[in-house]
Homo-oligomer: A and B are copies of this chain.
Amino acid sequence: MHFEEIIKIIKDRRDTLQVTQETLAELSGVGLRTLKQFESGKGNPTLLTLSKLADVLGLEITLQVKNIKPFK
A61 smallest CB distance to B (angstroms):
5
Q: Is the interface of A mostly helix, strand, loop or mixed?
A: mixed
- The answer for the CA separation of A64 and B60 in the assembled complex, in Å, is 5
Question: What bracket does the count of chain A residues touching chain B fall in?
Answer: 20 to 34
A67: interface (CB < 8 Å) = yes
Q: Which residues of B contact A13 (CB under 8 A)?
A: 65
Partner of A65, one of B1, B48, B51, B58: B58
Q: What's the least CB distance linking A66 to chain B, in Å?
A: 4
Given contacts A44-B46, A54-B63, 6 further A-B contacts (CB under 8 A): A46-B47, A59-B64, A59-B65, A59-B66, A60-B66, A62-B64
